[in-house]
Amino acid sequence: MDSKIDTIIQSLTLEEKVSILAGKDFWQTVPVPSKGVPAIKASDGPNGARGEAFQGGTRAACFPAAVCSASTWNPELSRRIGNALAEETHTKGARVLLGPTMCNHRHPLGGRNFESFSEDPLLAGKLAAQVVAGLQENGVAATIKHFAANEQETERLAVDEIISERALREIYLKPFEIVVKEANPWAVMTAYNKVNGTHADSNEFLLKKVLRGDWGWDGMVMSDWGGTNSTADSLNAGLDLEMPGPTRHRKLEAVKETINNGEVSEETINERVRGVLNLIHKVGGFENPEIPPERSVDNPEHRKLIREVAGQGLVLLKNENDVLPLRKEEVKGKKVALLGLAKEALIHGGGSASLNAHYRISPWDGMHNAYGNEVEFKFAKGAHTYRQLPPLSFNCTDSAGNPGWLLEVFEHGKTESTQRSSGHKEAAYSPTGESVKWKDIQLSSTFVPTETGAHYLACSGMGPTIVTINDHVVFEQTVDAPDPMAFLLGGIPEKEFNYSFTKGVSYQIAIRSNPQGFGSKKGGLLAGLQGFRMGFMYASEHDADLVSEALETAKECDYAIVFTGHTPIWETEGQDQASFNLPNNGSLDRLVDAVGSANPKTIVVNSTGVAIAMPWLSKVSAVVQAWFPGQEAGNAIADVISGAVNPSGRLPISWPKRIEDAPAYGNFPGTKKDGQLTVRYDEGVFVGYRHYDRISQDKVQFPFGFGLSYTTFALSNASVSSSSNETYKATISVLNTGNLAGATVIQVYVGRAQQSAEHPIKVLVAFKKVFLEAGQEQSVEFEIAQKDFAYFDEASGAWTLDRGSYEFWFGQSTTDVEDVVGVDIEGARQLKL
């Protein structure tokens, strides 16, 4: 194939070569049919193959978010997820999947943490490697992302992250290194952010020195969507493909200029083209150039896998007096209150990970599926959890008398519209495309309220937006949205305001928005488009006391289950978390506190991709962390609640009691000077449990690796022996000491016997999930590489292991250590990069 690609490259004109180095459109590469070069298609995302449309579109299977699958600590499941995602990708006519996402959980408020696996680089890397292997053994290219250090969403397009090389190598690059060396991903996607002053897409240290140099990787590098920031620099650093198309930085004349002035060589252009053509070859594009239409295939095997992964990923965090499980025969004829978000299926986070799922099983549905009519369920919402008011869509008529809104398009600043369409259904408009680019958009309608009062409105726009009621300005946004992509993918925070309405009176409402990026016409990927939304809620609904109703429901029931969590707009790409507390303004916390005080058998099921504050923890009997478990959410939750599944999930993150105790607190999301946001990773390698090990455990709500079961386990008889010059063999016995079959995760950590302020007390080096019948005992063996507990010495530029005594810690969490074995290393040594 190399000779064929050489022949193709030699046959291409410079114009054709340059055209190949950027996308044709949002999802496809550029074909050159006359030279035998086909197009191939990519699809988001990490927990399903969404297809082309960001909203709606072809239905697809929604798999558990990466943080949920990481909670299984089960690489075998990750491999099966990769296999299934490959099949899903093919149903969308694509050959490249944009995932897995594998940046570290640096801070609990990271908006995109749910898409990534863990705070620990070894756990993240081992699981992601299996996803990649599962994808690629079925002919679909994995695209590991975002390379590198994309740990926050705040000003993600420009933030400069100052990180030591040691922290980069040990924490932020380590998961990528594991995947590159164990699974050889066919593509890598660069991050939006800068690393040590240089954007990731043109960062020679990341792409040339580490990825292609130290690691010897030879796949294709693509940019994140709109994440190419230069012409010459990105080409020279090793960015093969600018996405999406049409190109912004690789127009023919711009590339020719860089060649003519000696900034870029034609050989570099050939190398970049070779990267794209090699990927086309790997995914079978030359053999079968067809891009079939998208299909919705609801595969029963994928349903089963999603439910199995979710069941193993749910983590039982508290179970006082064994209130769980609620076995069917034990609760028959009883009343169970399902409160809070019980009727919402929190199956995924917001942004690229969202998709139009085949179906969505809510906890309400799942509990009914599990218990049928044997239990009487009662519902009360109990809390306002919205982040945006719903778009105004009722009691509105446009100028033609049709229900809805009149949509008009204007040349910028003009008063006469050039396009008009009647009956637009609600006070929201999403970006559409070239036909309205750089034009103003207006929605107008006559609204007749059915209640008198100071009702609530809220508005936001991609670009400057103004709202008038009866020709009076009631809202004005004078600047572009801080992240227009975030607006497109799910919205941005909105400030509510009140306006006094009288029942039965007509009000003329108009919303007008300018194109985003109009002032400089440098608005990035979405420059020239418009988007806005205006929400509305009657005061009677907005100010209703929902807690009292839920409290009365809880009091009359034998059990109360409160479902809490983040809807996709609360936890999403494009913005970091608004708070460490549950939304909205403490409403869910107040609900749990009140119900827990009223009903001694209160259970909380929380669906977030991150740790949250739990001020009510002492007042509830049980807590289940459900994450975002995919389309089978409600069934998986009911499986664990009912005891059909014995919980075996373990936390892939540490869970602090207070946000102030997080290692990056004070250095997240950074400080701004002269318009540049900079965040310093001053915690260095002390991320997650590496930090919490060094402080009082009173500050930790739940430690890394923690999780309860309906049975119990004990470890004993640990041993460690040298297997080779750079590896050790460790063994441990595990016994199921309870009365039920179940699974635990054996975790092996290594640390220095003599603790050092420069190094973590211990680091995870191996793990295994073990399934045992009641009373069964098993011996488990691990192979541990010295590099897994070596440190990166910046002075020598090498992985280093100092001489001295080391301890191998065996446990079921980072604080639940049951056996320790000492090992002496006679001489210091440097290991391979």
Beta-carbon contacts of residue 661 (< 8 Å; ≥ 6 apart): 692, 695, 699, 700
pLDDT for 387-414, tens place per residue?
A: 899 999 999 999 989 999 999 999 988 8
Please give the pLDDT value at position 523.
Answer: 58
Active site residue 224: yes
Task: Look at the block and give the residue holding tokens 């923690």.
Answer: 706
Token digits for 241? 């493909």
CA angle 210, 216, 219 (to 5 degrees): 95
What is the per-residue pLDDT across 641-653, written as a single tens digit (0 to 9) for each? 999 999 999 999 9
Question: Are the C-beta atoms of residues 192 and 156 closer than 8 Å to each other?
Answer: yes
Q: Give per-residue pLDDT as tens, 557-574.
A: 999 999 999 999 999 998
Distances (CA, A) of 211 to 168, 173, 188, 239, 455: 13, 9, 10, 12, 56
Please report the domains of the chain, with CATH numbers, ordered by start residue.
Answer: 302-385+545-699 (3.40.50.1700), 396-426+431-530 (2.60.120.260), 711-831 (2.60.40.10)
- Give the full edge-to-edge strand order of the sheet including 315-319: 315-319, 622-625, 602-607, 559-565, 335-340, 376-380
**Torsion angle, CA of 488/494/498/503, rounded to 10 degrees?**
30
Token pair for 673: 């000077």
Question: Given a cut of 60, is residue 521 above it in pLDDT?
Answer: no
pLDDT single digits (tens) 88-119:
999 999 999 999 999 999 999 999 999 999 99
Query: For 660-803, where are the E strands, in sequence order?
Result: 671-673, 676-680, 700-702, 713-722, 727-736, 742-752, 763-772, 777-785, 791-793, 798-801
This prediction has a pTM of 0.95
Residue 34: partners with Cβ closer than 8 Å, 6 or more residues away:
none
Q: How far apart are CA 108 and CA 756, in angstroms?
A: 26
Q: Does 299 score more than 70 pLDDT?
A: yes
What would the pLDDT profile of 663-704 be if each residue is shown by its tens digit?
Answer: 999 999 999 999 999 999 999 999 999 999 999 889 999 999
The catalytic residue among 160, 224, 483, 576 is 224
Average of per-residue pLDDT across 745-755: 97
**Is the per-residue pLDDT at 725 higher than 80?**
no
pLDDT value, residue 487: 82
